[in-house]
Structure 1
């Protein structure tokens, strides 16, 4: 499982060209069938038929990837099928962008250099791949660093290459502490930071809390911001101080994950893979830590509601997650913020 509520691409809130719905259905059929060649043919056909490359990427490929993520969350496709479809869509992105570049008249102007990377621990690369290809189409030189880029590796790259900005993506909120560290370190290196992805909250609240120079809800908005130039924020990322309870939770995390896993396993259907239960437990503890770190119980409550739906789709009885939250509450005496976060989530699930 992916470990939290996340879709495969940006929100499709931009313009949609006439006829892209047909190409979306063709790509959906090919991607979910694992037919890479058919998917690429559909994309090239759309470009040759006059669909602008950026619209193909953001209004077709991203839309299909979002449908793939939702189908997995609804237990309509397996993890293997989701991974296969994602791999197909990634291939389509690269081929479509290259084909579009060959159709351009002459080389695109180079606006500057942008570094694009996932924060440390983040393995969802599709959103940053989308952004990278859109930026290249718009004339930027892009350093695409891919998944799970440790801050200790990212900062030397910034010093060596001197990009105009770094775009950091986070899809899963358990990586917010690492994202905060990356934002602070990049700014200390003199590079403005554009944050994006659902990990930073639906309105970018955690990006602002961490002092990011800007936040974008999707690839189109991110590219527009970079085209205009990022404003420099007055508040550096190191101005935010995390809740001290986070350190305690982080220290106790291995034991907490074990206890939650054992509780979930007691309720799990016999056919439920043990690995899924372990990953669910790690996500529960990870989201609790993240919620305490940013001081927002709603972050954990939102995740708990999503996980309850996920578990229900896989046949896990409703009391399982409530029991797991009770186990956590019993293991965390003397941590009022963690207790309040668990209590809010429990009340919401009961309601």
Structure 2
């Protein structure tokens, strides 16, 4: 597999163009990288994806706004499209794969990168885009008869809908490769959801595609009690979020000023993420999303001047009281929603 890692100055120049939202410069830089012999895989993983991780860290530290992050993602999509145009010239030598994100998953860039990498390796790809419905996926499976479905899952809130995609795919006998930050750094969550294979990154996706079986059986039902409680949490999600926001002092504080307003916005984003983490833990049997989300929330607050320990402890108490009618969820919060 050809790789040519970018020189530090190349990556710095690309990141500067992205930060400036200079689309023509981004496109020209990526064209030059490819013309100079850098492998498409390296452009996508060592330049585009690496830069996006840096941008995410800047947002988490409070150095960049949400608007800046979204603008940078648009630049990354422009860079990916340059590689995709070149990839379209590669002869199809493998099978057909549908590349998609499940409902509630709007982060299309990781899936676009995976689809582009697969196309450069000779796979025919059909991208369905972000937030696709199970019905639409089923229709495409019926229409194109793919050898596989590749699903990108970046946020914990799309874990339940990713499971529905796995059900739709395997019920048609089609194997499923999944990956993304919401599925963690190993195959535990993917296996619990019934995926045929898990991929840590683009290289892993290529390897997983080559090892897939021709046909698979429908996935088994999830354990009944946690699946039922997760369904109840999903129905009550908006109300539960509102109750936590009104009771947690970090989000309930109405102090004025731009810094306080920005803090409240970030903290209020953390509340639904925490409830999504509980849902993910229920469906996968893996409690790590809960503890990981506590740590993530703590880092967000710390970079914005909040005393983290008391804030997270209070949030845990509020969550426990709010989820009192959900015993499995309450247990997860009590045992795993902590910083250490």
Asked if these proteins are the same fold (TM beyond 0.5), I'd say yes
**Of 45, 51, 71, which aligns to 1:64?**
51
* Conservation of the 8 A alpha-carbon contact between 1:26 and 1:39: no
The residue number in structure 2 matching 1:331 is 322
Alignment equivalent of 2:223, drawn from 219, 226, 241: 241
Tell me the distance in 1 between the aligned counterparts of 2:70 and 2:29: 20
Deviations 1:301-346 (A, max 9, x none): 1111111111222334423332222112113335432222111234
**Which of 162, 187, 190 in structure 1 is aligned with 2:170?**
187
Distance in 2 (CA, whole Å) between partners of 1:287 and 1:210 is: 15
Partner of 2:333: 342
1:286 correspondence with 2:276 = yes
What is the 5 A alignment of 1:178-327?
Answer: 178-226=161-209, 228-231=210-213, 236-242=218-224, 243=226, 244-262=228-246, 263=248, 264-267=250-253, 270=256, 271-273=260-262, 275-318=265-308, 319-327=310-318
Partner of 2:94: 111
Alignment of 1:158-173 (within 5 A): 158-173=141-156
Q: Determine the C-alpha separation between the residues in 1 that align with 2:170 and 2:216.
A: 11
Flag the 1:101–1:337 CA change in 2: closer, same or farther, 3 A: closer
* Structure 1 segments (4+ residues) deviating >3 Å: 99-102, 232-236, 267-270, 273-278
SS at structure 2 position matched to 1:168 = strand
Measure the CA separation in 2 of the matches of 1:241 and 1:233: 24
Q: For 1:215 and 1:155, how far apart are their aligned partners in 2?
A: 21
- The answer (yes or no) to whether the contact 2:243–2:322 under 8 Å persists in 1 is no
- Kindly state the Cα deviation for residue 15 of structure 1 after the two structures are TM-superposed: 8.0
Pair 45,120 (structure 1): closer, same or farther in 2 beyond 3 Å: same
- 2:59–2:69 Cα contact (<8 Å) kept: yes
Shift of 1:290: 2.1
Equivalent residue pairs, number = 331
The Cα offsets for residues 148-190 of structure 1, whole Å up to 9 and x where unpaired, read as 1111211111101111100011011222111111101111022
Q: CA deviation at 1:82?
A: 0.8
Q: Is the 8 A contact 1:20 1:60 kept in 2?
A: no
Q: What is the CA–CA distance in structure 1 between the aligned matches of 2:49 and 2:234, rounded to whole Å?
A: 35
Q: Which runs of 5+ in 2 are unaligned?
A: none
Determine which of 170, 175, 179 is the counterpart of 2:158. 175
For normalisation by structure 2, the TM-score amounts to 0.89
C-alpha displacement of 1:55: 1.6
Which structure's relative contact order is higher, taking Cα pairs within 8 Å and 6+ residues apart?
1
Change (3 A) 1:91 1:234: closer
**Segment drifting more, 250-259 vs 204-213:** 250-259
SS across alignment from 2:261? coil
In terms of mean alpha carbon deviation, does 184-193 or 315-324 score higher? 315-324
Root-mean-square deviation (CA, aligned residues, Å) is 2.3
Partner residue, 1:51? 38
TM-score, scaled to structure 1: 0.86
Q: Which residue of 2 aligns with 1:75?
A: 62
Q: Structure 1 residues 272 and 316, CA, compared in 2 at 3 Å: closer, same or farther?
A: farther
| 1:212 counterpart SS class | coil
Q: Judge which range, 300-309 or 58-67, deviates more.
A: 58-67
- Of stretches 317-326 and 68-77 in structure 1, the one that deviates more from structure 2 is 317-326
